[in-house]
Amino acid sequence: MLVSAQVPSTSSYRRMNDDSVWLPIYPPPENPSFPKPDLPSPPREPFWKSLSSHPAYSLSTHIIPAAFLRSTPEIDLPCPPHSCEGKKTRQNSIREGVDRLWELRRKENDRRLQLGAPIKFERRLWLCLNRYVRKDVNSKNRRHKGLTLFCAHANGFNKETWEPMIYHLLSSPAGNDIEEIWVWESIQHGDSGLLNAGRLSSLFHWFDGTRDLLNFLIYFLPTTITATLPVHLPRVPPEESTRRLQRGLSRRTLIAVGHSLGGSLISRACLSYPQFFSALALVDPVIIPLSEPILWKVLDGMATGAFGRRTSWPSRESAYTSLAISPFFKPWHPDVLRLYVEGGLYPTSPSPSPCSCFSGSPVEYKLKLDAITEATVFTDTITGCADIWDRFHEIDENIEIKWIMPGDYDGLVNRKSTKERVNLRPANSSHVTIPGCGHLIAQEKPKELAEEIANFVTKYAEKKAKL
């Protein structure tokens, strides 16, 4: 069980999780001695390409630098439990590893408070994004400016798992008004995690995730929507980024959709830079006060589950079969699970181990998201979830917010917390529930989620020009 002495104090977090630890946002300087990486996974078509009827959108994947300044130092990751260990030994190894993550967070928190000033660490990291764009975006027959959506995922899930929701959204009448969708992937997740392998830490301040998101919007989101883009998105001209910081995006209407972790990050981004956003769709976001009695138990359970999870399989087919019958993945929509396996695993040489189930096999398929860095995001949840809870009421009331919450289950924490969350800023806000699912709405009910987002975004489309 979680040792209370390892938990950072509530009062210390209230003193450190505010704008005093908010670092400047900018990408690393261009340097030819640091070559730009190739995409770690081959290009792919959207899964709907094989369907008889599908939306006319193209998919491409792009790379940008993450924000150059990081809030936390590089600290080696704890060792994962060994596959040869017996059940009891393995449980002890997992417990020790998660306790180590809590202890690292507590020590980092104490160190920051003692110094009394923001600390910055320069680090070159990369982010991958998927882009879905209308195939007729350059057509002169388009009579009105459409919408740009930005999607931010929950902890543990690769960017491709949004695709079933996107399919249903683009297939709906609302799809006529959507020009482009960007799907962001955090530094540990999916292809971003492969690009940053060996450079990730046992600490991940959630403010850094928010700043990575804003780094894209300020410096790399193209000024206009075009049919094609290079893999490495170029930085926009300095005068354009300056103008954006002052007035936002003049040629786009941007709506952000965030699930769980992603919902917390886009809310914090909107609090600090409201000029970029027209509206937010928050899917059971991790916005929770530190005073929530069961918060620590929930986070410790999630971190423990992540730390000890299975991470490799002999094939993608065996991975899908195994996951489909597990209690955690069984409620998922089959299309989402297939894309979790397709986009979240990569082939690699088997790890040498006397008890490996891959003996004699030339390849194994591993999760792109390292299990320990996933656990780190859970134990570092406390660096962001309460800050935005305390300040959510400050979000500009001109920005409409739609909360999309679980209908039949407690969701992330409990129903009482859900009711409080959706009323943190009552003005220009609404909330709905989706029956038959828990916290993982995007994974379990992609069609129903798409319907709620479709109902929300159409009002932001620019009216068609009069004939």
Sorted by where each starts, the structural domains of the chain and their CATH numbers stand as 4-460 (3.40.50.1820)
Q: In DSSP terms, which residues pair with 183 in a beta bridge?
A: 130, 151
In whole angstroms, what is the distance from residue 399 CA to residue 279 CA? 5
Residues 395-420, mean pLDDT to the nearest whole number: 87
Chain centre to alpha carbon of residue 95 = 26
Using one digit for the tens of pLDDT, what is the confidence trace for 346-355? 999 876 554 5
Q: Are strands 279-283 and 312-313 parallel, antiparallel or unpaired?
A: unpaired
Q: ∠ at Cα 401 (425, 188), nearest 5°? A: 105
Residue 7 confidence (pLDDT)? 54
Question: Is 54's pLDDT higher than 80?
Answer: yes
Residues 50-56, mean pLDDT to the nearest whole number: 87
In whole angstroms, what is the distance from residue 286 CA to residue 298 CA? 12
Please enumerate in sequence order all residues whose Cβ is within 8 A of that of 275, keeping only pairs 6 or more positions apart, or say none.
Answer: 244, 245, 246, 247, 248
Residue 11 confidence (pLDDT)? 52
Residues 416-442, mean pLDDT to the nearest whole number: 94
Using one digit for the tens of pLDDT, what is the confidence trace for 204-247? 999 999 999 999 999 999 999 999 999 999 999 999 999 999 99
In whole angstroms, what is the distance from residue 297 CA to residue 301 CA? 6
Return mean pLDDT, the chain. Answer: 90
- Percent of all residues in the chain with a pLDDT value above 70, rounded to a whole number: 89
Residues 303-327, mean pLDDT to the nearest whole number: 96
Question: Is 466's pLDDT higher than 50?
Answer: no
In whole angstroms, what is the distance from residue 131 CA to residue 172 CA? 19
Using one digit for the tens of pLDDT, what is the confidence trace for 246-265? 999 989 999 999 999 999 99
In whole angstroms, what is the distance from residue 365 CA to residue 317 CA? 10
Using one digit for the tens of pLDDT, what is the confidence trace for 126-157? 999 999 999 988 875 665 667 999 999 999 99
In whole angstroms, what is the distance from residue 155 CA to residue 186 CA? 9
Residues 329-338, mean pLDDT to the nearest whole number: 98
| Pair of tokens at residue 12 | 């210390």
